[in-house]
Amino acid sequence: MNTHGRTTTPARRTLLRGAALGAAAPVLSGTAAADTGQAAEGRTRATDSVTYRWLGTSGWRIDIRRAQGQEKRPATATVLVDPYVTRFATGLFTGAFDPTTRLRTDKPLARRHAGTSEVICVTHTHWDHLNDVPFLARATGARVIGTETTYHVLRSFGVDAAQLVVVKGGEVLDFDGYVVEVASSRHSRNASYSYFAPGTLTAPPATAPRTVADLPEGDTLAFKVTPDGAPSALFMGASDFDERSFAGLAPDVAMLAVASTESTYRYVPRLLAALDRPGVVVPVHWDDFERPLSEPPRKDGTALDDFVARVREASPASRLVVPDYATEYGADLRPRGSAH
């Protein structure tokens, strides 16, 4: 592919894995040492060129600093994944789930956390992933990448069709300063091997969804984002996956959804093997997403500890990063200071 006067090769970018994520290198002398010093300086610039902020659940804000030289474009591209920040109570975490809970968006809060987004990736159409996307798409003009169901739901909310990109998995989309690769995935399973609000849409609903039950899953995707010259990152929105679709993705960093049941056979070891055991693993979708982002994520009573233990057993060389809401992370997922 060649756009914007550059050539991008996602497969080649995975060669950055060891260097950009801080793998050990031998001590050299003379010219070799000078070359290594230059390479280390390049790696530092790479990790400084991208920042990540966890928005809770499976949501992320990615800020990518573009290379200098083209003055008619913003210096930084902001990419969002599943930006659900309004966080209202449905009773899900208290055992009194109410599927008729009304959808609503805290617009100032959504804008503050999302910034001026250029692209929004939606893994699936449940409320804890899509709820704030209609407002953000209309407010920022961002391009939204998602399933056909996501397309039809957003059209019902008045989002311009020209902003919407329908994908199925397998697409590799070349943007200015980064590549977005789409993989077919699967939704999490509960203890009964099912999940809430399955189904897909083949046309916009007659009226825009009003309650959490009005938003069907609509198939599930995962996204691999590779900024120019920096490590790649995979984003999951649910704790199941298509093993064959994930094979070959080999992300440097993987934001992996934590499973709360044992319904999916050997979920963690199979997932890590399919992804070629990423250098950094970041567990997501384990927090109570009905508590505000102004409070720290609640870890008690979640499946986080079990997930961490299984990752360490299946991929002991992977560095585990348990994220929090208030930290800005560099491209290697090391903290860069407070984001709020």
Distance CA 7, CA 121 (A): 23
| Measured CA angle at 220 (ends 307, 14), to 5 deg | 65
* Model pLDDT for residues 77-133, shown as the tens digit of each residue: 999 999 999 999 999 999 999 999 999 999 999 999 999 999 999 999 999 999 999
* Model pLDDT for residues 203-240, shown as the tens digit of each residue: 999 999 999 999 999 999 999 999 999 999 999 999 99
pLDDT of residue 3: 42
Closest CA to 224 of 278, 263, 269, 265: 278
- Higher per-residue confidence, 45 vs 58: 58
- Could you tell me how far CA 237 lies from the centroid of its own chain? 7
Counted residue by residue, the chain has a size of 340
DSSP E strands, 139-229: 143-146, 164-166, 172-175, 178-186, 221-227
Torsion angle, alpha carbons of 201, 206, 211, 212, to 10 = 0
Please give the backbone phi and psi of residue 38, each rounded to the nearest 5 degrees, phi first: -65, -40
Identify the weakest region by mean pLDDT among 17-21, 117-121, 124-128, 333-337.
17-21
Q: Is the pLDDT of residue 334 over 90?
A: yes
Domain at 50-331, CATH class: alpha beta
pLDDT of residue 222: 98
Q: Is the pLDDT of residue 31 over 70?
A: no
55, 87 Cβ separation under 8 angstroms = no
Q: Is the pLDDT of residue 48 over 90?
A: no
Q: What is the DSSP annotation of 66-126?
A: PPSS-TTS-SEEEEEES--------STTTT---TTPBP---HHHHHHHH-S-SEEE-S--S
pLDDT of residue 39: 45
Q: What is the pTM of this model?
A: 0.87
